[in-house]
Chain A
Protein backbone atom coordinates (compact mmCIF):
# COMPACT_ATOMS: atom_id res chain seq x y z
CA UNK A 1 0.00 0.00 0.00
CA UNK A 2 1.62 3.19 -1.23
CA UNK A 3 0.40 6.58 0.00
CA UNK A 4 2.39 9.58 -1.29
CA UNK A 5 1.18 13.13 -0.73
CA UNK A 6 2.22 16.73 -1.21
CA UNK A 7 0.37 18.92 1.28
CA UNK A 8 -0.14 22.68 1.08
CA UNK A 9 -2.07 22.64 4.37
CA UNK A 10 -0.74 21.69 7.85
CA UNK A 11 0.44 18.10 8.14
CA UNK A 12 -1.08 16.14 11.04
CA UNK A 13 1.01 12.95 11.35
CA UNK A 14 -1.36 11.22 13.78
CA UNK A 15 -4.26 11.42 11.38
CA UNK A 16 -2.19 9.87 8.57
CA UNK A 17 -0.45 7.12 10.52
CA UNK A 18 -3.58 5.61 12.05
CA UNK A 19 -5.23 4.95 8.71
CA UNK A 20 -1.93 3.88 7.15
CA UNK A 21 -1.40 1.25 9.85
CA UNK A 22 -4.98 0.00 9.48
CA UNK A 23 -4.48 -0.31 5.73
CA UNK A 24 -1.66 -2.85 6.27
CA UNK A 25 -3.24 -5.70 8.25
CA UNK A 26 -0.87 -8.45 9.35
CA UNK A 27 2.18 -6.20 9.60
CA UNK A 28 4.99 -7.00 12.00
CA UNK A 29 6.24 -3.48 12.56
CA UNK A 30 5.71 0.14 11.66
CA UNK A 31 8.43 2.77 11.78
CA UNK A 32 7.52 6.44 11.53
CA UNK A 33 9.67 9.54 11.27
CA UNK A 34 8.29 13.07 11.56
CA UNK A 35 10.52 16.02 10.69
CA UNK A 36 9.66 19.46 12.03
CA UNK A 37 10.79 22.99 11.26
CA UNK A 38 13.65 23.83 13.64
CA UNK A 39 13.39 27.07 15.54
CA UNK A 40 17.15 27.63 15.91
CA UNK A 41 19.16 30.49 14.35
CA UNK A 42 16.19 32.85 14.71
CA UNK A 43 14.28 31.19 11.91
CA UNK A 44 10.91 32.88 11.76
CA UNK A 45 9.43 30.91 8.89
CA UNK A 46 10.36 28.44 6.20
CA UNK A 47 9.00 28.14 2.68
CA UNK A 48 9.28 25.05 0.54
CA UNK A 49 8.70 25.32 -3.18
CA UNK A 50 8.40 22.45 -5.61
CA UNK A 51 8.03 21.85 -9.34
CA UNK A 52 4.72 20.15 -9.97
CA UNK A 53 5.67 17.97 -13.00
CA UNK A 54 8.65 16.43 -11.15
CA UNK A 55 8.18 16.53 -7.39
CA UNK A 56 5.28 14.16 -6.78
CA UNK A 57 6.24 11.66 -9.53
CA UNK A 58 9.77 11.42 -8.09
CA UNK A 59 8.37 10.82 -4.59
CA UNK A 60 6.16 8.04 -5.97
CA UNK A 61 9.17 6.51 -7.66
CA UNK A 62 11.07 6.69 -4.36
CA UNK A 63 8.20 4.89 -2.61
CA UNK A 64 8.29 2.14 -5.25
CA UNK A 65 12.05 1.71 -4.78
CA UNK A 66 11.70 1.52 -1.00
CA UNK A 67 8.94 -1.11 -1.21
CA UNK A 68 11.08 -3.36 -3.41
CA UNK A 69 14.40 -2.76 -1.66
CA UNK A 70 13.15 -3.30 1.90
CA UNK A 71 10.35 -5.77 1.16
CA UNK A 72 7.71 -3.47 2.62
CA UNK A 73 4.00 -4.08 2.95
CA UNK A 74 3.34 -0.38 2.66
CA UNK A 75 4.84 3.07 2.76
CA UNK A 76 3.51 6.53 3.51
CA UNK A 77 5.40 9.64 2.41
CA UNK A 78 3.74 12.97 3.16
CA UNK A 79 5.65 16.20 2.51
CA UNK A 80 4.62 19.78 3.09
CA UNK A 81 5.00 22.59 0.60
CA UNK A 82 4.40 26.30 1.13
CA UNK A 83 4.93 28.39 4.24
CA UNK A 84 5.66 26.80 7.64
CA UNK A 85 6.63 27.99 11.10
CA UNK A 86 8.97 26.50 13.74
CA UNK A 87 7.50 23.41 15.36
CA UNK A 88 5.30 22.53 12.39
CA UNK A 89 5.72 19.10 10.80
CA UNK A 90 7.36 19.29 7.38
CA UNK A 91 7.65 15.60 6.47
CA UNK A 92 6.27 12.28 7.64
CA UNK A 93 7.54 8.90 6.44
CA UNK A 94 6.04 5.67 7.73
CA UNK A 95 6.93 2.16 6.62
CA UNK A 96 5.11 -1.08 7.41
CA UNK A 97 6.81 -4.45 7.08
CA UNK A 98 6.69 -8.01 8.35
CA UNK A 99 9.92 -7.44 10.27
CA UNK A 100 11.33 -4.39 12.01
CA UNK A 101 14.63 -4.02 10.15
CA UNK A 102 13.00 -3.39 6.78
CA UNK A 103 10.66 -0.77 8.23
CA UNK A 104 13.42 1.07 10.10
CA UNK A 105 15.88 1.03 7.20
CA UNK A 106 13.22 2.09 4.67
CA UNK A 107 12.40 5.23 6.66
CA UNK A 108 16.09 6.10 7.01
CA UNK A 109 16.60 5.54 3.27
CA UNK A 110 13.58 7.61 2.24
CA UNK A 111 14.57 10.50 4.49
CA UNK A 112 18.11 10.58 3.06
CA UNK A 113 16.69 10.59 -0.47
CA UNK A 114 14.14 13.29 0.35
CA UNK A 115 16.78 15.51 1.95
CA UNK A 116 19.23 15.54 -0.92
CA UNK A 117 17.58 14.24 -4.08
CA UNK A 118 13.90 15.25 -4.04
CA UNK A 119 12.70 18.25 -6.02
CA UNK A 120 12.24 20.79 -3.25
CA UNK A 121 13.76 24.21 -2.72
CA UNK A 122 13.83 25.73 0.72
CA UNK A 123 14.23 29.26 1.98
CA UNK A 124 14.23 30.59 5.53
CA UNK A 125 13.03 33.90 6.89
CA UNK A 126 15.59 35.28 9.38
CA UNK A 127 15.53 38.85 10.64
CA UNK A 128 12.85 39.68 8.11
CA UNK A 129 15.02 38.58 5.16
CA UNK A 130 14.55 35.43 3.04
CA UNK A 131 17.62 33.20 2.55
CA UNK A 132 17.73 30.30 0.10
CA UNK A 133 19.18 27.15 1.67
CA UNK A 134 22.00 25.37 -0.14
CA UNK A 135 22.30 21.61 0.13
CA UNK A 136 24.75 20.51 2.83
CA UNK A 137 27.68 18.15 2.26
CA UNK A 138 26.32 15.91 5.06
CA UNK A 139 23.09 15.41 3.09
CA UNK A 140 25.02 14.07 0.09
CA UNK A 141 27.15 11.89 2.38
CA UNK A 142 23.98 10.47 3.98
CA UNK A 143 22.60 9.60 0.56
CA UNK A 144 25.87 7.97 -0.49
CA UNK A 145 25.44 5.40 2.31
CA UNK A 146 22.71 3.71 0.25
CA UNK A 147 24.65 3.46 -3.00
CA UNK A 148 25.79 -0.05 -3.69
Chain B
Protein backbone atom coordinates (compact mmCIF):
# COMPACT_ATOMS: atom_id res chain seq x y z
CA UNK B 1 0.00 0.00 0.00
CA UNK B 2 1.89 3.04 -1.18
CA UNK B 3 1.91 6.72 -2.01
CA UNK B 4 4.30 7.84 -4.73
CA UNK B 5 6.15 11.10 -4.03
CA UNK B 6 7.41 12.81 -7.19
CA UNK B 7 10.23 15.37 -7.05
CA UNK B 8 9.93 17.91 -9.86
CA UNK B 9 12.53 20.25 -11.37
CA UNK B 10 15.25 21.45 -8.96
CA UNK B 11 13.75 19.36 -6.14
CA UNK B 12 14.71 16.26 -8.11
CA UNK B 13 18.36 17.28 -7.83
CA UNK B 14 18.07 17.98 -4.12
CA UNK B 15 16.29 14.68 -3.45
CA UNK B 16 18.71 12.80 -5.69
CA UNK B 17 15.87 10.81 -7.26
CA UNK B 18 12.76 11.35 -9.36
CA UNK B 19 10.30 9.59 -7.10
CA UNK B 20 9.98 7.59 -3.93
CA UNK B 21 7.28 5.26 -2.65
CA UNK B 22 6.19 5.49 0.95
CA UNK B 23 3.48 3.81 2.99
CA UNK B 24 -0.10 5.10 2.74
CA UNK B 25 -1.79 7.11 4.09
CA UNK B 26 0.44 10.17 4.02
CA UNK B 27 -0.25 13.54 5.64
CA UNK B 28 1.81 16.75 5.78
CA UNK B 29 3.85 15.68 8.82
CA UNK B 30 4.50 12.30 7.23
CA UNK B 31 5.57 13.95 3.98
CA UNK B 32 8.08 16.23 5.72
CA UNK B 33 9.52 13.20 7.48
CA UNK B 34 9.66 11.07 4.32
CA UNK B 35 11.52 13.51 2.05
CA UNK B 36 14.58 14.33 4.16
CA UNK B 37 15.63 17.56 5.84
CA UNK B 38 16.75 19.45 2.74
CA UNK B 39 13.58 18.89 0.71
CA UNK B 40 11.46 19.42 3.85
CA UNK B 41 13.05 22.85 4.24
CA UNK B 42 12.07 23.73 0.65
CA UNK B 43 8.53 22.50 1.29
CA UNK B 44 8.28 24.98 4.12
CA UNK B 45 8.58 27.82 1.61
CA UNK B 46 5.30 29.33 0.49
CA UNK B 47 6.28 29.31 -3.20
CA UNK B 48 6.66 25.54 -3.28
CA UNK B 49 3.34 23.85 -4.11
CA UNK B 50 2.10 20.32 -3.51
CA UNK B 51 -0.28 18.41 -5.77
CA UNK B 52 -2.12 15.26 -4.73
CA UNK B 53 -3.82 13.02 -7.29
CA UNK B 54 -3.47 15.68 -9.99
CA UNK B 55 -4.87 18.57 -7.95
CA UNK B 56 -2.76 21.43 -6.58
CA UNK B 57 -3.57 21.85 -2.89
CA UNK B 58 -4.72 25.30 -1.80
CA UNK B 59 -3.28 24.56 1.64
CA UNK B 60 -0.55 21.94 1.35
CA UNK B 61 -0.55 21.28 5.09
CA UNK B 62 -3.99 19.65 4.68
CA UNK B 63 -2.44 16.86 2.57
CA UNK B 64 -4.22 13.52 2.98
CA UNK B 65 -2.83 11.09 0.40
CA UNK B 66 -4.36 7.65 0.15
CA UNK B 67 -3.09 4.40 -1.28
CA UNK B 68 -2.35 4.80 -4.98
CA UNK B 69 -2.18 8.61 -4.88
CA UNK B 70 0.71 10.48 -6.44
CA UNK B 71 2.03 13.46 -4.45
CA UNK B 72 4.06 15.93 -6.52
CA UNK B 73 6.37 18.53 -4.99
CA UNK B 74 6.33 21.56 -7.26
CA UNK B 75 8.99 24.28 -7.01
CA UNK B 76 8.38 27.75 -8.51
CA UNK B 77 7.83 27.46 -12.26
CA UNK B 78 10.12 29.01 -14.86
CA UNK B 79 8.37 28.35 -18.13
CA UNK B 80 8.20 29.58 -21.67
Contact surface of A with B, Cβ cutoff 8 Å:
35, 48-49, 51, 53-54, 57, 79, 90-91, 111, 114-123, 132-135
Q: Tell which of A51, A90, A111, A134 has the most Cβ of chain B within 10 Å.
A: A51
Measured in the bound complex, the distance between the Cα atoms of B55 and A139 in whole Å is 24
Whether A115 and B70, one on each chain, are in contact in the complex, defined by CB atoms closer than 8 angstroms, is no
Which 10 pairs show the lowest CB-CB distances between chains A and B?
A121-B9, A120-B79, A53-B54, A115-B80, A132-B10, A133-B78, A114-B80, A118-B79, A122-B78, A135-B78
Q: How far is the CB of B39 from chain A (nearest CB, A)?
A: 15
Main SS of chain A's interface residues?
A: mixed
**Given A119-B74, A132-B9, are A54 and B79 neighbors across the interface (CB < 8 Å)?**
no
Given contacts A49-B9, A120-B78, 19 further A-B contacts (CB under 8 A): A48-B79, A51-B6, A51-B51, A53-B51, A53-B54, A54-B72, A90-B80, A111-B80, A116-B80, A117-B77, A117-B79, A118-B79, A118-B80, A119-B74, A122-B79, A132-B9, A132-B10, A132-B78, A134-B76
